[in-house]
Structure 1
Amino acid sequence: MMGPVLAACLLIILSTAWISQANGATCKKDGGVCTCNDQTKNVDCSSKGLTAIPSNIPTDTDRLELDYNKLSSLPSKAFHHLSKLTYLTLSTNQLQALPAGVFDQLKNLETLWLSQNQLQALPLGVFDQLVNLADLRLYQNQLTSLPEGVFDKPTKLTRLDLDYNQLKSLPSGVFDKLTLLEKLYLQNNQLQRLPEGVFDKLTDLKTLNLQINQLRRVPEGAFDSLVKISEVQLQENPWDCSCRDILYLSNWIREKKGTVSNIEAAECDGGTKAVLEITEEEAAEDCVYPNTTTAIPTTIITTLASSNDDDIPELPVPQENFQKFLGYQEPDHLPTQPQCLMSISGYLGLMMFFVLISAAILYVIHFLKKA
């Protein structure tokens, strides 16, 4: 009685296995380079030494792994037939650029990893059509700048990795559209300053990593909108604790100590003191930094506007602050004023003058003798 039932069960199991294997085989039309799973719609092409993307990836693929290969470029329409993708990783390849529009058809994409490539720049609008993107990782490339409006459209982004690049600055308002962002990684770059209000729209941000950059200050109120922040990494930046601008950061760290992790690790340039320990007496200078503006007191503007040139008082400029603004360093030797005036062109002109005078005198003498 049990024989036919058991046989039927075995037949069903064997049939399922055969169908699954057959489906797997149809996924491997390229000779078995990628591993495909028709049930989960996953295609794994990682660590295959690929120099080009296989052309026969099923159109209903949900997850595509192309990491750990040797891809150096992408066709502009490489993924246009894969509109159902929700996960795409191209990490650890040799990509040097992204063609414009390469991701435009991936309307359902939620995760995009481009880390550990050789990208130096991003095309304008390259992520504009990724309306469902939640996780974008671009760390460990060679990015030196970000185009204006590069993140204007992916409003569902919750994680953005830009660490281990070569960014020296950020465009103003670059994160304004990313209102759902929860994790932002900017460590191991070369950031020298932060734009005013750069984090103002990130009210859901929980993790912010700025360590190992070249930051000397942050704008007044830079972190005031981060109401949900729980972790901030600020260490290994040359924080300038001699300038009054550092007091905002020092007071903010002191206020958030115990509720925001890792902020106490921020130290003044040279590692002599923690930023949170800086007092108003120590940060007494009104420093001016490159790429920033300093307000001029209204009284001075009025005085300059209403005075004659002869009446304008000479405004003293502290030498130390002026040098800090210009990034000036004292050379070993400065030429004296006469040396500055006697330039090479001056010498040549003087010599030419004497030659002409001598020639004129000789001509007159010769003329007189002849007469």
Structure 2
Amino acid sequence: MKGGLILVSSVILFTQVVWGCPDVCQCHASSKTVDCRNRGYVEMPHSLPPDTQILYLQDNHIRTINQTAFSMTPWLTILDLSNNSLSSLPPGAFHDLLHLQVLNLTGNSIQHLEGRLLAQQADLRELDLSYNTLVNLPESLLNNTRNLTFIAVSHNQLQRLDRFFLDSLANLKVFLFKDNPWQCNCHVLGLKLWLESFLYRGGTIDELICSEPENREGKHLLKIPYETYATCPPTTGHVLLSSLQHHSPDHRTAGKYVHHGEHGDGAHSDCEPKPKPRPASLRHAIATVVITGVVCGIVCLMMLAAAVYGCAYAAIMAKYHRDMKEVEHLPPAIEQGSPEEKEPLDCSQA
């Protein structure tokens, strides 16, 4: 009997350790939130509640995340790892988080990301990579995140973004990338064209200021004339460029420019966006030409109908006048009758 009680007690104790809340964290069962902010962690905490949906781990000293770090918390939707000491992330770091919607990695020392890092995050909505030391972003990083609406890569060491990386952001609404050493050479043409299209669709960006070459240093990429890239080798971007060169760069964008918030805020900026005038639409131009052609066609048909009517009326009137003249020149009518009828009656012969 005593041995059984010990066994039961051990099971209960083990269950509390595995399914309980870390001692230094605060767990809120109603909102399924675990708050482990600024608790001095150097690695991922253990024994998190398995039904946790929101996990705050910012302002710690976490250096690494292993492949199974989140295997016991598969229902996470919001994960905040900002302001830690992460320098790298293994390819499968987040593979167990199939329902993840918000991932904040701001304020770490991440220099490189694996292309498969977010391969399982189809529900991801927001990704903040600001204030790291990223030098590039893999083309395949966001291939499976079609629902992404917000991404920030501000304050990194990025010099360029590949067009294939950008084309995967079909539903993006906000893209923040200020304070990177952007190289505005020929290879930036694809990014320039993509930004023009993104702003036209109503997207929001902040400033993309060039660092190189020297003659473009400090200039906003979108304000650099296309003629500047006329000597660049032909690329796929030049196909679209030929149809845009007659527009002024200042009148091709209709999205919003914003300034990114303070370090680590992990949210959209509260600064007032600067709207740009909507560019001339090729579709609207074609519609205008079609409508103008239809109106001109109707006017021409009306003029033709009037001409035909005028000619017919003139012909009828001319014929009428000719008939009238012929009637006027006819001789007087000759009385009709037989000779007998014309001779007077002789009454004596009667």
TM-score normalised over the length of structure 2: 0.56
Aligned length: 222
Query: Per-residue CA shift, 1:157-188, capped at 9, x if unaligned?
Result: 00001111000111231021221100001111
**Partner of residue 176 from structure 1, selected from 137, 157, 167:** 167
- Say which structure, 1 or 2, has more relative contact order (CA 8 Å, 6+ apart): 2
**Partner of residue 75 from structure 2, selected from 64, 77, 84:** 84
Distance (Å, rounded) in 1 between the aligned partners of 2:171 and 2:32? 28
**Partner of residue 211 from structure 2, selected from 210, 214, 219:** 214
Query: Per-residue CA shift, 1:316-362, capped at 9, x if unaligned?
Result: xxxxxxxxxxxxxxxxxxxxxxxxxxxxxxxxxxxxxxxxxxxxxxx
Contact kept? 1:181, 1:204, Cα under 8 Å: no
- For 1:36, the equivalent position in structure 2 comes to 27
**Partner of residue 249 from structure 2, selected from 252, 256, 262:** 252
Contact kept? 2:182, 2:208, Cα under 8 Å: no
Which amino acid in the other structure matches residue 53 of structure 1? M
Distance (Å, rounded) in 1 between the aligned partners of 2:40 and 2:252? 52
1:252 offset after TM fit, Å?
2.8
Contact kept? 2:204, 2:257, Cα under 8 Å: no
Map 1:348-367 to 2 at 5 A: none
Distance (Å, rounded) in 1 between the aligned partners of 2:252 and 2:222? 21
| Structure 1 residue matching 2:72: 3-state secondary structure | coil
| Structure 2 CA distance for partners of 1:122 and 1:162, relative to 1, 3 Å | same
Which amino acid in the other structure matches residue 144 of structure 1? V
Q: Does 1:118 align with 2:109?
A: yes
Contact kept? 2:21, 2:48, Cα under 8 Å: no
Mean CA deviation greater in 77-86 or 160-169:
77-86
1:53 offset after TM fit, Å?
1.2
Distance (Å, rounded) in 1 between the aligned partners of 2:84 and 2:143? 26
Query: Per-residue CA shift, 1:280-313, capped at 9, x if unaligned?
Result: xxxxxxxxxxxxxxxxxxxxxxxxxxxxxxxxxx
Distance (Å, rounded) in 1 between the aligned partners of 2:70 and 2:141? 20
Which amino acid in the other structure matches residue 75 of structure 2? K
1:120 offset after TM fit, Å?
0.2
| Structure 2 CA distance for partners of 1:248 and 1:185, relative to 1, 3 Å | farther
TM-score normalised over the length of structure 1: 0.53
1:81 offset after TM fit, Å?
2.0
Distance (Å, rounded) in 2 between the aligned partners of 1:262 and 1:85? 32
Query: Per-residue CA shift, 1:200-235, capped at 9, x if unaligned?
Result: 885755202233342679xxxxxxxxxxxxxxxx96
Distance (Å, rounded) in 1 between the aligned partners of 2:213 and 2:92? 38
**Partner of residue 49 from structure 1, selected from 40, 57, 66:** 40
Map 1:264-343 to 2 at 5 A: none
| Structure 2 CA distance for partners of 1:155 and 1:68, relative to 1, 3 Å | same
**TM-align CA RMSD:** 3.4
Contact kept? 1:115, 1:141, Cα under 8 Å: yes
Which amino acid in the other structure matches residue 251 of structure 1? S
Gaps of 5+ in 2: 1-15, 231-243, 259-275, 277-350
Which amino acid in the other structure matches residue 158 of structure 1? T
Identical positions, percent: 26
| Structure 1 residue matching 2:87: 3-state secondary structure | coil
| Structure 2 CA distance for partners of 1:44 and 1:36, relative to 1, 3 Å | same
| Structure 1 residue matching 2:249: 3-state secondary structure | helix
Distance (Å, rounded) in 2 between the aligned partners of 1:155 and 1:117? 25
Mean CA deviation greater in 172-181 or 161-170:
172-181
Gaps of 5+ in 1: 1-23, 218-233, 264-275, 277-371
Contact kept? 2:178, 2:207, Cα under 8 Å: yes
Mean CA deviation greater in 239-248 or 182-191:
239-248
| Structure 2 residue matching 1:174: 3-state secondary structure | helix
1:155 offset after TM fit, Å?
0.5
